[in-house]
A and B are shown apart, each in its own frame.
Chain A
Amino acid sequence: MKILVCIKQVPDMESHFRPNGSATWFDESDLAFRMNEYDEYAVEEAVKLKEQLGGEPEITVLSIGPDRVIEAIKKALAIGCDRAVHINESAVASKEPWQIASIIAAYARSIQFDLVFTGMQSQDRGSAQVGVLVAELLGIPSTTTLVGFAYADGVVTATRELEGGVKGKVRLKTPALVTCQLGLNSPRYPTLPNIMKARKKEITTFQAGDLSSEPPLTGSSSFRHPEKKGSGVVLEGSVDELVEKVIVILKDKTAVLR
């Protein structure tokens, strides 16, 4: 059995974001990058499945981006993926979901994976498109927003998270693609011995342009801080001053403190 996990490297969301020169996206300098949170669940689920099947499946982890994404790839290898594909694209920020999906599909088509795991969305772009688009391009069934996953004999039973705490159960036959939601499992931390072992695992590099050269279907502009709407106040200062101020405001503006 062959499993593919797609991971994206995204900036730490606690960063201060500034627009790049053309305001199409953020300026990357000074940002710390990490694995997209949703993809951590995808990696963990793939590794759990490998363990369930006695280690038989081979897991390939794939990431598109500049050299910095190798750090995220190494983490996935240390967690238990077997091999990696780094698709080099220095201008990954200007690639929109259709292009990213076309690149992934171009690679995946040649391997014929039985199962593909992606995150349900990336934290920076948040399009929730790439996973489903890959499945459509490969012509395989897919389902999204998994909070439960079970596999037996070529059949995936997925629990999807719907609104208001309701869930939906879906069954699909492999080859298939699923997108992972927060809370699907408890992602493990890589251990030191596994980090060492991961160093020996193979990372194959492709150039994105050699796989697909689809033109973009959308353009991006005016990347900015949202306009402040409310009349909220921002308080800064020493903790003691802040506590005093907050108590005065709560007494004045709410009926909860007497």
Chain B
Amino acid sequence: MKLLLVGEYREGRLLDTSAELFGFAAAIGGDASIFLVGSAEDVPAFSGALYLVDAGLYGEYNPEVHKQLLLKAVEEVNPDLIVFIHSSYGWDLAPRVAASLKVAQVSEVIGFADNAYEVGCCNAKMHRNVTPSTSKAVITIQAGAFPALQSEGTPLVKVLSTDVASTTEFLGYEPAEAKDVNLAKAEIVVSAGRGIGKKENIEVIRSLAKAFGGELGASRPVVDAGWIDHGHQVGSTGQTVAPKLYVACGISGSIQHLAGMKKSGFILAINKDKDAPIGEVADVLVVADVLQFVPALTAKLS
């Protein structure tokens, strides 16, 4: 199998997640080449062809132009599989390439067997296998699903260029907001999810956090609804925490939430749904109504 891996840069640096592309390539086997819109200053060790585009000339986000350049690499490599990370860069660029080639795309791959790719669906509650019916295919792999692997060797660098006009103008990055709550240092984090039902019930969860002497965290919908501010959000677009004890109250356990807390020492989840995917990582899943269980636990602890 011939693979073309697509790495990512942010402000001139190769992103760490790119190492997961090597992890995937090693797992599935085959000949890998890599395509990077980045900088010659920061290319990975690699023992295959490296198609390099100068991000200084074309920008780190410029989808129409990146697509055209990637299609050039596809023409040279003639890969069976084009592999992206399922990230803001990958899910934006992958369908463009798939559409140009008119080939199958499988999104957010977590495993493979034969010619089928395993993916999550229904908010990660279910899995299924997706089989491309085209000879080439585009996939995006879920961040964290494959091990990060440092590859070795000296790449054979080939520089690509294009004169295709861009249709989007990148105006720049906005840095992450400063965090007013440092959850990363807390030994205990008690988080509220959408299952708490309404803003007022944040207090129920806050009381439990206090009884434990821990900090209050939250899932994204709780933040998006304005029930609590973003500083409390746990997950891929919030904070990453690894406390000794993480208590998830009314949180389903989406991939993006798990990315921020699955390394916790002990995970206690309270959910009325026995099938909730949080059960996959929880040491204890209490099947109950949070609004009944949490106050009772708080009372017992205080």
Q: Which residues of A contact B (CB under 8 A)?
A: 11, 13-14, 16-17, 23-26, 97-98, 101, 120-121, 123-129, 132-133, 136-137, 141-145, 157, 159-173, 182-183, 186, 216-226, 228-236, 239-240, 242-243, 246-247, 249-250, 253-257
Q: A145, B100: Cβ atoms under 8 Å?
A: no
Is B279 in the interface zone, CB < 8 Å from A?
Answer: yes
Residues of A within 8 A of B119 (CB): 126
Q: A169, B171: Cβ atoms under 8 Å?
A: yes
Residues of B within 8 A of A141 (CB): 64, 167-168
- The one of B64, B124, B245, B297 in contact with A254, judged by C-beta atoms closer than 8 angstroms, is B245
Known: A124-B122, A136-B100. 6 other contacts (CB 8 A): A13-B125, A25-B128, A98-B105, A163-B87, A166-B175, A218-B132
Q: Which residue of A lies closest to B96 (CB)?
A: A136
Q: B133, A222: Cβ atoms under 8 Å?
A: no
Interface string of B76-93 (1 = CB under 8 A from A): 000000000011110110
Is B13 in the interface zone, CB < 8 Å from A?
Answer: no
- The one of A13, A157, A254 in contact with B252, judged by C-beta atoms closer than 8 angstroms, is A13
Q: A168, B173: Cβ atoms under 8 Å?
A: yes
Q: A256, B245: Cβ atoms under 8 Å?
A: yes
Q: Which residue of A lies closest to B168 (CB)?
A: A172
Q: A222, B105: Cβ atoms under 8 Å?
A: no
Is B283 in the interface zone, CB < 8 Å from A?
Answer: yes
Q: B174, A254: Cβ atoms under 8 Å?
A: no
Residues of A within 8 A of B86 (CB): 128
A98 CB → nearest B CB, Å: 7
**In the complex, what distance in Å separates the CA atom of A230 from the CA atom of B267?**
11
Q: Which residues of B contact A (CB under 8 A)?
A: 10, 61, 63-64, 86-89, 91-92, 94-96, 98-100, 102-108, 116, 119-134, 167-177, 187-188, 212, 220-221, 223-226, 236-238, 244-245, 252, 265-268, 273-275, 277, 279-288, 292-293, 296-297, 300-301
Q: B108, A216: Cβ atoms under 8 Å?
A: no
Q: Which residue of A lies closest to B143 (CB)?
A: A163
Q: A216, B170: Cβ atoms under 8 Å?
A: no
B282 CB → nearest A CB, Å: 5
Q: Which residue of A lies closest to B170 (CB)?
A: A170
Given A230-B282, A256-B187, CB of A11 within 8 Å of CB of B122: yes
Q: A132, B95: Cβ atoms under 8 Å?
A: yes
**In the complex, what distance in Å separates the CA atom of A257 from the CA atom of B244?**
11
Q: Which residue of B lies closest to A135 (CB)?
A: B96
Q: B168, A170: Cβ atoms under 8 Å?
A: yes
**In the complex, what distance in Å separates the CA atom of A162 from the CA atom of B61?**
11
Q: A217, B134: Cβ atoms under 8 Å?
A: yes
Residues of B within 8 A of A125 (CB): 121
Pick 12 A–B contacts, CB within 8 A, sort by A. A101-B99, A157-B171, A163-B87, A163-B88, A168-B173, A217-B132, A221-B128, A226-B280, A233-B284, A235-B284, A256-B188, A256-B266
Q: B129, A221: Cβ atoms under 8 Å?
A: yes
- The one of B100, B169, B174, B280 in contact with A159, judged by C-beta atoms closer than 8 angstroms, is B174
Residues of A within 8 A of B124 (CB): 226
- The one of A98, A132, A226, A233 in contact with B92, judged by C-beta atoms closer than 8 angstroms, is A132
Q: A232, B63: Cβ atoms under 8 Å?
A: no
Residues of A within 8 A of B274 (CB): 234, 236
**In the complex, what distance in Å separates the CA atom of A173 from the CA atom of B104?**
29
Given A98-B104, A128-B107, A186-B226, CB of A220 within 8 Å of CB of B169: no
Q: B286, A242: Cβ atoms under 8 Å?
A: yes
Q: B91, A144: Cβ atoms under 8 Å?
A: yes
Q: A232, B91: Cβ atoms under 8 Å?
A: no
Q: B105, A249: Cβ atoms under 8 Å?
A: no
Given A126-B120, A162-B88, A168-B170, CB of A143 within 8 Å of CB of B284: no
Q: B297, A243: Cβ atoms under 8 Å?
A: yes
- The one of B120, B176, B221, B238 in contact with A166, judged by C-beta atoms closer than 8 angstroms, is B176
Q: Which residue of A lies closest to B116 (CB)?
A: A221
A212 CB → nearest B CB, Å: 14
- The one of A26, A161, A163, A166 in contact with B122, judged by C-beta atoms closer than 8 angstroms, is A26
Given A228-B280, A232-B284, CB of A144 within 8 Å of CB of B226: no
**In the complex, what distance in Å separates the CA atom of A14 from the CA atom of B61?**
36
**In the complex, what distance in Å separates the CA atom of A110 from the CA atom of B275?**
44
Residues of B within 8 A of A249 (CB): 283-284
Residues of A within 8 A of B103 (CB): 217
Q: B287, A170: Cβ atoms under 8 Å?
A: no
- A-B interface, 7 closest residue pairs, ranked by CB to CB distance from nearest: A165-B176, A141-B167, A136-B99, A169-B171, A183-B224, A217-B104, A132-B95
Q: A223, B244: Cβ atoms under 8 Å?
A: no
- The one of B133, B172, B265, B280 in contact with A218, judged by C-beta atoms closer than 8 angstroms, is B133
- The one of B61, B95, B132, B280 in contact with A129, judged by C-beta atoms closer than 8 angstroms, is B95
Residues of B within 8 A of A97 (CB): 95, 105
Q: B95, A234: Cβ atoms under 8 Å?
A: no
